[in-house]
């Protein structure tokens, strides 16, 4: 992008962000998730940092919260109520630390608190009596909501202990998950999230309504100068005055490693926290340094909100490509500008079919919201036409197979176009890819490029041929050294015996995924039994409906599949029935650190979970075992400190045998 386009992008981003912020902060509504909004703000923040010439005073990065509502009395405060910039990764945090160290070289520790997702408030006490409660508003001018705040039982109307004559504190009005559920239970249209409900409740005109919703509040900072030297000290003072704090969860961390240990701990345990939290607030503990670092834009330099990884983010669709699947299905795939979601870099998202593209109104070049839940393939949920430049291109569905040129066909009632040619090269590759994939034969070391090569050279024509490959067959091929050729053959031969469910999945029956394969393997003992099963019999299985049963019956009736099964048998492939899932690690909690020799970390995790155990990323005293590989990290010392049982890889392998 040239500078002019960047400036335009910045302007459009601002407009879009302002629109959604207004909805969120002033009207307590949302059209996009807070995560998607955060992601847009992050793009703007990064662009402005790179091109400071385009920063303007009215940019959302320079503003705080929302405008005060007309019907509340305005409160003008002496000290602006700032908010914090966001960070999402270790890289973001290291950059933040470097920037600060450049301004002020010093040795300091970080005070970390769970970041509550509610509405920021300020409270003023005179002679120990609550006299004023206000919302953040635009930072300088807030709304007077004293009457509503007085209905919150955890806010003291009168202070305890050795309080000063005049005291200003700040905190967060929140709604507990329990209370949120209670309120939502008898609502026809439930509230979208606890944050909006808390905000809407505080900004009620009728304090009786506020009182009916049992709001809560945690207080986290003192504005008045009481000579407090550290942020930690402030928290202790707040507790002594009778405020509710998150003190028991807060932690002083000596360095960024410790911050991230805490971060991953909370990430694993956020479900158990009584309130919604969306990350950690990390502050330089030394108040003197904190104040010296000053303010940039709308936020103090000495603090940052380290947010949990996003399940959604915004990015740009750079292209739409057609992927040919093993059944010949043509799936449009969005090629994305790389974006990090939940710790993984995402570069593609499935678009399923042409109708989905039309439903989204997606064009190539559009900015979109992309999400990823668990291990599911990422999907696009929203398009922002507001950010278009006019250079976006419409997608045109192809009519012939990009691999073999056959005219595509579409069944009645179906939305998917398919290549009908069973000999189609791309289809064949799709079939092989499926066959060697993790859920199927799980043959390591054979990527799509290698498969293509094997097929092109005529070494294999159907997946069962893989079991006859010899080292000498692939050695002459370019790019295969002796060692890797040997390894590949070994990997193939190792998989001649596989669990029945994986065998079923490997056959590539349309609509039969891993879960259905498991269900089938539980009910039937042989593949012949499945082939002979009636539709009724199949549909008596829990997650099998008419569509799946038809696919299975259709697959069973085809001669070529009979042939393929025979081929597998002839090549020595056997399946075995899985034992009932063992629960020998039931309830045991594990953390893994360092590099393992035999198992990858992924596989070790899989093993533990399959045996009923749980895997965490941070060591705490609730952990039963720390599994230590080579070069263990700081978790090792922590486990010793806490007396957590430490086992090496050999012990672990014995345990899961
Ligand atoms: Zn084709």
Give 614-632 pLDDT, tens digit per residue.
888 888 888 999 998 887 8
Same domain? For 537 and 462 the reply is yes
Asked if the model's pLDDT at residue 65 lies above 60, the reply is: no
When mean pLDDT is compared across 158-162, 200-204, 216-220, 278-282, the lowest value belongs to 200-204
**CA–CA gap between residue 646 and residue 591 (Å, rounded):** 10
Same domain? For 501 and 623 the reply is no
When mean pLDDT is compared across 166-175, 195-204, 526-535, the lowest value belongs to 195-204
- The CATH number assigned to the domain holding 643 equals 3.40.50.10190
In a domain, 67, yes or no: no
When mean pLDDT is compared across 282-286, 330-334, 509-513, the lowest value belongs to 509-513
Same domain? For 436 and 543 the reply is yes
Same domain? For 112 and 144 the reply is yes
Ligand 1 centre from 393 Cα, in Å?
26
In a domain, 128, yes or no: yes
User: Average of pLDDT values for 337-349?
Assistant: 83
Please list all protein residues whose beta carbon sits less than 5 angstroms from ligand 1, which is an ion.
401, 403-404, 406, 419, 421, 424
Same domain? For 355 and 447 the reply is no
- The CATH number assigned to the domain holding 325 equals 2.40.50.140
In a domain, 391, yes or no: yes
Alpha-carbon distance values, 473 to 122, 134, 221, 289, 478 (Å): 75, 77, 71, 68, 12
Ligand 1 centre from 324 Cα, in Å?
8
Question: What share of the chain has pLDDT > 90, as a percent?
Answer: 43
Question: Catalytic site residue 470?
Answer: no
25-35 pLDDT, tens digit each = 777 677 888 78
Query: What is the predicted pLDDT for the residue at 162?
Result: 93
69-103 pLDDT, tens digit each = 567 888 999 888 988 988 988 888 999 999 999 99
Ligand 1 centre from 326 Cα, in Å?
10
User: Among residues 8, 42, 98, 115, which one is catalytic?
Assistant: 115
- Report residue 343's pLDDT band, with 50, 70 and 90 as the boundaries: low
Asked if the model's pLDDT at residue 375 lies above 70, the reply is: no
Query: What is the predicted pLDDT for the residue at 374?
Result: 53
When mean pLDDT is compared across 57-61, 169-173, 612-616, the lowest value belongs to 57-61
303-327 pLDDT, tens digit each = 999 998 778 899 999 999 998 888 8
Ligand 1 centre from 404 Cα, in Å?
4
**CA–CA gap between residue 303 and residue 236 (Å, rounded):** 19
**CA–CA gap between residue 464 and residue 506 (Å, rounded):** 11
Same domain? For 565 and 534 the reply is yes
Query: What is the predicted pLDDT for the residue at 240?
Result: 95
Residue 72 CB-density burial (10 A; 0-12 exposed, 13-18 middle, 19+ buried): middle
Same domain? For 167 and 209 the reply is yes
In a domain, 584, yes or no: no
Same domain? For 186 and 239 the reply is yes
pLDDT averaged over every residue in the chain: 88
Length reported for the chain: 657
Asked if the model's pLDDT at residue 581 lies above 60, the reply is: no
Cβ atoms 502, 517 nearer than 8 A: yes
Same domain? For 381 and 515 the reply is no
**CA–CA gap between residue 387 and residue 390 (Å, rounded):** 9
Same domain? For 317 and 269 the reply is no
Same domain? For 388 and 510 the reply is no
Same domain? For 347 and 470 the reply is no
Query: What is the predicted pLDDT for the residue at 549?
Result: 93
In DSSP terms, 300 is beta-bridged to 295
In a domain, 564, yes or no: yes
User: Average of pLDDT values for 336-350?
Assistant: 84
State which of 281, 307, 333 marks the end of a domain: 307
Asked if the model's pLDDT at residue 66 lies above 60, the reply is: no
Q: Which residue has the higher pLDDT, 309 or 111?
A: 111
User: CA angle, 617 as apex, 616 and 620 as ends, to 5°?
Assistant: 75
Cβ atoms 41, 49 nearer than 8 A: no
- The CATH number assigned to the domain holding 525 equals 1.10.150.20
**CA–CA gap between residue 213 and residue 210 (Å, rounded):** 5
State which of 576, 605, 631 marks the end of a domain: 576
- The CATH number assigned to the domain holding 160 equals 3.30.470.30
pTM to 2 decimal places:
0.57
In a domain, 393, yes or no: yes
In a domain, 538, yes or no: yes
- How many domains, the chain? 5
Write out the residue range of the structural domain in which residue 38 sits: 3-62
359-368 pLDDT, tens digit each = 999 999 999 9
439-477 pLDDT, tens digit each = 899 998 888 888 888 888 888 888 999 999 888 888 877
State which of 62, 92, 110 marks the end of a domain: 62
Ligand 1 centre from 428 Cα, in Å?
9
In a domain, 581, yes or no: no
């Amino acid at each position: 992008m040239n500078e002019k386009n960047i400036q335009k992008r910045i302007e459009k981003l601002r407009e879009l962000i302002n629109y959604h912020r207004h909805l969120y902060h002033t009207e307590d509504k949302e059209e996009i998730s807070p995560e998607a909004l955060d992601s847009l703000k992050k793009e703007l923040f990064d662009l402005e940092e790179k091109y400071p010439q385009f920063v303007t005073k009215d940019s959302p990065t320079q503003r705080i919260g929302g405008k005060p509502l007309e019907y509340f009395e305005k409160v003008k405060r002496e000290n602006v109520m700032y908010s914090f910039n966001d960070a999402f990764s270790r890289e973001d945090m290291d950059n933040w630390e470097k920037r600060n160290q450049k301004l002020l070289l010093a040795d300091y520790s970080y005070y970390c608190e769970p970041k509550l997702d509610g509405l920021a408030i300020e409270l003023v006490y005179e002679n120990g009596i609550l006299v004023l409660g206000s919302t953040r508003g635009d930072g300088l001018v807030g709304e007077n909501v004293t009457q509503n705040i007085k209905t919150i039982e955890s806010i003291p109307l009168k202070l305890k202990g050795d309080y000063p004559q005049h005291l200003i504190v700040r905190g967060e009005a929140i709604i507990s998950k329990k209370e949120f559920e209670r309120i939502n239970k008898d609502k026809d249209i439930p509230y979208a999230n606890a944050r909006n409900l808390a905000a809407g409740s505080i900004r009620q005109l009728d304090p009786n309504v506020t009182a009916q919703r049992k709001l809560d509040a945690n207080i986290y900072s003192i504005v008045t100068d009481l000579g407090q030297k550290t942020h930690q000290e402030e928290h202790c003072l707040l507790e002594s005055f009778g405020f509710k704090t998150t003190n028991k969860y807060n932690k002083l961390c000596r360095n960024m490693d410790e911050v991230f240990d805490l971060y991953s701990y909370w990430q694993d345990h956020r479900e158990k926290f009584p309130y919604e939290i969306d990350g950690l607030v990390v502050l330089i503990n030394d108040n003197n340094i904190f104040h010296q670092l000053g303010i940039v834009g709308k936020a103090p330099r000495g603090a940052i909100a380290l947010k949990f990884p996003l399940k959604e983010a915004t990015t740009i669709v750079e292209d739409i490509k057609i992927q040919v699947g093993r059944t010949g299905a043509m799936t449009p795939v969005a090629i994305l500008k790389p974006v990090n979601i939940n710790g993984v870099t995402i570069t593609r998202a499935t678009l399923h079919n042409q109708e989905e593209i039309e439903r989204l109104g997606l064009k190539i070049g559009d900015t979109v919201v992309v999400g990823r839940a668990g291990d599911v393939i990422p999907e696009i949920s929203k398009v922002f036409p507001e950010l278009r430049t006019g250079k976006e291109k419409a997608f045109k569905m192809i009519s012939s197979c990009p691999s073999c040129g056959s005219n595509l066909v579409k069944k009645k009632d179906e939305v998917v176009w398919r290549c009908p040619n069973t000999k189609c090269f791309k289809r064949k590759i799709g079939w092989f890819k499926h066959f060697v994939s993790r859920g199927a034969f799980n043959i390591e070391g054979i990527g799509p490029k290698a498969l293509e090569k094997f097929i092109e050279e005529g070494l294999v024509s159907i997946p069962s041929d893989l079991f006859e490959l010899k080292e000498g067959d692939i050695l002459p091929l370019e790019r295969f050294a002796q060692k890797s050729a040997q390894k590949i053959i070994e990997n193939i031969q190792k998989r001649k015996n596989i669990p029945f469910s994986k065998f079923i999945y490997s056959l590539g029956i349309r609509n039969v995924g891993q879960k259905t394969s498991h269900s089938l393997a539980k009910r039937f003992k042989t593949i012949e039994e499945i082939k002979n099963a009636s539709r009724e019999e199949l549909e008596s299985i829990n997650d099998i409906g008419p569509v799946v049963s038809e696919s299975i019956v259709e697959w069973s009736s085809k001669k070529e599949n009979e042939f393929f099964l025979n081929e597998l048998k002839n090549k020595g492939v056997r399946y075995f029935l899985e034992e009932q899932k063992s629960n020998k690690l039931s309830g045991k909690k594990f953390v893994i650190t360092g590099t393992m020799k035999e198992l990858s970390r992924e596989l070790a995790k899989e093993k533990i979970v399959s045996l009923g155990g749980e895997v965490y990323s941070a060591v705490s005293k609730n952990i039963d075992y720390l599994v230590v590989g080579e070069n263990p990290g700081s978790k090792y010392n922590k486990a010793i400190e806490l007396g957590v049982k430490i086992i090496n890889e050999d012990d672990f392998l014995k345990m899961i045998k």
